[in-house]
């Protein structure tokens, strides 16, 4: 029997890439990201572990591209048993009084609008026992992160609303809370931090996968 399909949006680096590699042992990975080079590197890692992947180098803010992707997934696999969304845009840090309109618009588009369009397109591919996984950031700094914090909060509110609406019909919605990891996003928020005390991304990814009861 062929492996079930897992859609990973934001799969090219960091937590998304680690989760994709781990999940490739049990799923065929559909890896989505803007950067083809990083996706190809991920594909190499997955193949070395005996897994398989389909690469989708598209921009999640491109509604037409997402629609075509979902149609292609339906035509080939009919459904996905797992959707993991790790894609996030982290705007530069700065005081509220210096909020840049371009940073604000880009964050809204990537962190909020993209998800609001993704859910209606991906949900027809999810069955009652399928799982959709999202990540809450509990390490957001209190100062200088107004754009990221606001758009991340909006993203999670959308997910929690969807979770309530799916309780009787599925899919199963997970909102996981990763421990601090030495990712590129965290480095932007905590420059100069001693990263030795942070949990490695691969170990944290394994812990998070263990919470999914796959």
Q: Provide the domain limits for residue 101.
A: 5-210
pLDDT at residue number 184: 81
End-to-end CA distance of the chain: 17
pLDDT tens by residue, 102-125: 999 999 999 999 999 999 999 999
Cis bond leading into 9, ω under 30°? Answer: no
How many H helices and E strands in the chain? Answer: 8, 6
CATH number of residue 156's parent domain: 3.40.50.720
Q: Please give the pLDDT value at position 60.
A: 96
User: 162: which residues sit within 8 A by CB, 6+ positions away?
Assistant: 119, 173
Q: 54 has which bridge partners? A: 30
Residue 7 pairs with which residues in a beta bridge? 30, 83
pLDDT given at position 153: 95
* Mean pLDDT of each 10-residue bin along the chain, 214 residues long: 91 95 97 95 96 96 97 96 96 93 97 97 97 91 88 97 95 96 84 86 96 91
Question: How many domains does one find in the chain?
Answer: 1
The pLDDT of residue 193 is 85
Listed in sequence order, the residues at least 6 apart from 133 whose beta carbon sits closer than 8 Å to its beta carbon are 82, 83, 84, 85, 174, 176, 212
């Amino acid at each position: 029997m062929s492996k079930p399909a897992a859609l990973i949006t934001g799969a090219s680096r960091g937590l998304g890439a680690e989760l994709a590699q781990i999940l490739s042992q049990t799923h065929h990975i559909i890896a989505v990201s803007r950067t083809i080079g990083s996706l190809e590197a991920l594909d190499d890692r997955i193949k070395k572990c005996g897994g398989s992947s389909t690469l989708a180098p598209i921009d999640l803010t491109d509604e037409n591209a997402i629609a075509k992707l979902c149609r292609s997934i339906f035509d080939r696999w009919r459904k996905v048993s797992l959707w993991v969304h790790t894609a996030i845009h982290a705007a530069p840090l700065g005081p509220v009084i210096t909020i840049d309109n371009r940073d604000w618009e880009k964050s809204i588009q990537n962190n909020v609008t993209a998800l609001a369009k993704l859910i209606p397109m991906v949900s027809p591919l999810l069955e009652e026992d399928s799982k959709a996984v999202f990540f809450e950031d509990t390490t957001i700094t209190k100062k200088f992160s107004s754009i990221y914090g606001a758009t991340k909060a909006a993203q999670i509110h959308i997910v929690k609303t969807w979770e309530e609406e799916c309780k009787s019909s599925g899919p199963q919605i997970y909102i996981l809370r990763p421990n601090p990891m030495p990712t590129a996003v965290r480095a932007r928020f905590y420059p100069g931090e001693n990263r030795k005390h942070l949990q490695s991304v691969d170990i944290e990814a394994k812990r998070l996968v263990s919470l999914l009861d796959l």
